[in-house]
Amino acid sequence: MVNLSSILEIATATHPGMVRSHNEDSIAADAEMGLAVLADGMGGYNAGEVASGIAVELILTEMKKALAGKAPDELNGKEMERLLSEHAAKANGTIYQAAQSQPQYSGMGTTLVIALWHDNRLSVGHIGDSRLYRLRGDALEQITRDHSLLQEQIDSGMISKEQARYAPNKNLVTRAVGIDPEVEAEVHTYAVQPGDIYLLCSDGLPDMVTDEEIELTLSSLKANLPLAAEQLVQQANDNGGRDNISVILVRVLKDFPARSGWLKKLKSWF
């Protein structure tokens, strides 16, 4: 297994917000594995926390096992994408089973975004409206596309992005983990550059803070990742904090090719 702890710098923050008594978001990040997971749970009473907690815990431990058992050359982009899909499906099965068998968990589910860094690349899987953004240079870009009613309305041209900010029903997702017996994660792989900063967040951030403000905060405070994470949560709360807010910030410090260094050097001689 490749150790990325000297490659990735990670800062996280999570907060129930100003209105809710529960924090139904769950987050985990492991620099060594190069893995970050964020889930935003839903369901009555504390079932939302249970669903997001199961998803994050299961993916973290199971992915650790899966990655440990593999040689670095086995871990190509295709394989990583397969691992993400497989583990999202596993989380779905576990939550669905729990929801079916225990009445207090009936109907619980969660959104999910998983990011896995490997070989100068990033594979991302997501289900629902939790997002991944990337700050490259000083420009912020949204990498994932929400699986939400609102995104579908934007895509079909029914409403503009500007109108979407004030639309009702912002909270309706069209895909979630644990609701149906099966669900498919949307998985893609992207090239990574040193200096990139990745942001995983629950919808409590973008619903309260515009992309322009997120961009300004990340680009102004990128020298201090924990401060940037805290600041994003604070901005969402200053604007009303209507939902739980979670952020994971990951900075790529340098190149991390999968091939060992000497082999690459040797090759570049010829």
Partner 1 sequence: MAKLILSLEGSVIREVPLDKERITIGRKPQNDIQIENLAVSGEHARVMTILNDSFLEDLGSTNGTLVNGNPVKKYILQNNDVIEIGKYKLKYIAAAPAAQTAARTPAEDMDKTMILRAPAGARTPAAPAGPAAAAAPAAAAGAPPKPAAAPSLAAIRILNGPSAGRDLELTKNLTTLGKPGVQVAVITRRPQGYFIAHVEGKQFPVVNGKTLDVQAHPLNDHDVIELAGVKMGFFLKTK
Cβ atoms of 245 and 208 closer than 8 Å? yes
238: which residues sit within 8 A by CB, 6+ positions away? Answer: none
124/158 Cα distance (integer angstroms): 28
Q: What is the amino acid identity at position 87? A: H
Which of 9, 30, 211, 213 lies at the binding interface for partner 1 (CB under 8 A)?
213
258/260 Cα distance (integer angstroms): 6
Binding-residue pattern over the window 239 to 268 for partner 1, x denoting contact by CB under 8 A: xxxxx-------------------------
21/243 Cα distance (integer angstroms): 10
Cβ atoms of 111 and 183 closer than 8 Å? no
Q: How large is the angle between the packed helices 47-68 and 77-101, nearest 10 degrees? A: 140
Q: Applying CB under 8 A, does 12 fall inside the site for partner 1?
A: no
Q: Which stretch binds partner 1 (CB under 8 A): 6-14, 115-123, 186-194, 201-209?
A: 201-209
Q: Applying CB under 8 A, does 206 fall inside the site for partner 1?
A: no
20/2 Cα distance (integer angstroms): 40
Closest distance of CB 213 from partner 1, Å:
6
Q: Applying CB under 8 A, does 128 fall inside the site for partner 1?
A: yes
Closest distance of CB 114 from partner 1, Å:
17
Look at residues 64, 49, 43 and name the one whose alpha carbon lies nearest to residue 14: 49
Closest distance of CB 9 from partner 1, Å:
13
Q: Applying CB under 8 A, does 97 fall inside the site for partner 1?
A: no
Cβ atoms of 250 and 36 closer than 8 Å? yes
Closest distance of CB 67 from partner 1, Å:
29
Closest distance of CB 23 from partner 1, Å:
12
How far is residue 153 from each of residues 128, 138, 145, 161, 164, measured CA to CA in Å?
15, 29, 13, 10, 9
Q: Which stretch binds partner 1 (CB under 8 A): 53-61, 78-86, 90-98, 215-223?
A: 215-223
Which of 157, 223, 262, 268 lies at the binding interface for partner 1 (CB under 8 A)?
223
Q: Applying CB under 8 A, does 26 fall inside the site for partner 1?
A: no
Residue 262 CA neighbour count, 13 Å, CB half: 0
Closest distance of CB 40 from partner 1, Å:
5
> Which residues would be at the binding site for partner 1 (CB under 8 A)?
18-22, 40, 42-47, 103-104, 106-109, 111, 128-129, 149, 165-166, 168-174, 176, 179, 202-203, 207, 213, 216-217, 220-221, 223-224, 227, 231, 234-235, 238-243
